[in-house]
């Protein structure tokens, strides 16, 4: 089935640096969502971007969506140790269900 | 804030046992979902429900069943647990939007099930 694919699978940066994660998908979507998961916990919604939007901001988060390339990116600016987590993109292909990617594991070193 | 709770954080069961995982949400959401999460496989949808007594199969329904008798509660049932059902189980809920589109999903903390 269609699936978002995140890149890279793992990312390690120093505190204060920016982190960029990418997501690609295969079919038309209604919206794309990003979630965060701290180790062993449930997922927390970060941001939803609709197919007619190109960019969205929330605090230190910036999400872009390029529907022509079927891709999205999540930028976390001025990262903190507390940002250490796994990040998932999820696409809504007009089915009423979300399709989750396998995630990017981000480690932010103090 | 939306709150989704799951009955157990950790559960250990034996092969062949019947297992019930319960999920309760307090935001009057129409939609509820059960996922399992395994390393390298991401989140996979087991079952979902759009309304009371309504259920639809997800991508991996084999070996599972669900029950939704009340709007706030969605139960996942493993009729006869097997070792390959050892996993993290995540419940989620969301509002129902027109046109088959999805809204934000709110997740519970997860249940880590081990089947021996």
**B92 touches A88 (CB < 8 A):** no
Q: Which of B1, B20, B12, B3 is nearest to B109 (CA)?
A: B3
The secondary structure of residue B75, as a DSSP letter, is E
- State the pLDDT at residue A2: 47
- State the pLDDT at residue B79: 94
What tens digit of pLDDT does each residue of B4-47 get?
Answer: 999 999 999 999 999 999 999 999 999 999 999 998 888 999 99
- The answer to whether position B102 is within a domain reads no
- The answer to whether position B103 is within a domain reads no
- Region of residue A11 (phi > 0: left; psi between -120 and 50: alpha; otherwise: beta): beta
- State the pLDDT at residue A96: 78
Per-residue pLDDT of chain A (110 residues; tens, 9 = 90+): 446 788 899 999 999 999 999 999 999 999 999 999 998 888 999 999 999 999 999 999 999 999 999 999 999 999 999 999 999 999 988 887 899 999 999 999 99
Range of the domain at B46: 4-97+108-115
The total of structural domains in chain B comes to 1
Instruction: Count chain A–chain B contacts defined by CB atoms under 8 A.
Output: 62
A-chain CB neighbours of B102 within 8 Å are 30-31, 33, 92, 96-98
What domains, with CATH codes, occur in chain A?
5-109 (2.60.40.10)
**A2 touches A93 (CB < 8 A):** yes
- State the pLDDT at residue B40: 82
B-chain CB neighbours of A97 within 8 Å are 33, 45, 48, 58, 102
Please indicate whether, in this complex, the C-beta atoms of B43 and A88 are within 8 angstroms of each other.
yes
Grade residue B98 by pLDDT with cuts at 50, 70 and 90: low
Q: How far is A18 from chain B (nearest CA, A)?
A: 25
- State the pLDDT at residue A1: 44
């Amino acid at each position: 089935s269609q699936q978002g694919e995140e890149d890279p699978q793992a990312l390690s940066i120093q505190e204060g640096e920016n982190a960029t994660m990418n997501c690609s998908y295969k079919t038309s979507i209604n919206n794309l969502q990003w979630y965060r998961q701290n180790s062993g916990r449930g997922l927390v919604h970060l941001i939803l971007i609709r197919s007619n939007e190109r960019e969205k901001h929330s605090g230190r988060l910036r999400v872009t969506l390029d529907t022509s390339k079927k891709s999205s990116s999540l930028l976390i600016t001025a990262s903190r140790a507390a940002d250490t987590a796994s990040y998932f993109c999820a696409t809504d292909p007009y089915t009423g269900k979300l399709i989750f990617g396998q995630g990017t594991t981000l480690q932010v070193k103090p | 804030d939306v709150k989704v709770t799951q009955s157990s954080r950790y559960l250990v069961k034996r092969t062949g046992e019947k297992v019930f995982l319960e999920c309760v949400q307090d935001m009057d959401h129409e939609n509820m979902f059960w996922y399992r999460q395994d390393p390298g496989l991401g989140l996979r949808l087991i079952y979902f429900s759009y309304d009371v007594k309504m259920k639809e199969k997800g991508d991996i329904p084999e070996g599972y069943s669900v029950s939704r008798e009340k709007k706030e509660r969605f139960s996942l049932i493993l009729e006869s647990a097997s070792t390959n059902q050892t996993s993290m189980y995540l419940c989620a809920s969301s509002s129902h939007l027109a046109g088959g589109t999805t809204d934000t999903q709110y997740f519970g903390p997860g249940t880590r099930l081990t089947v021996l």
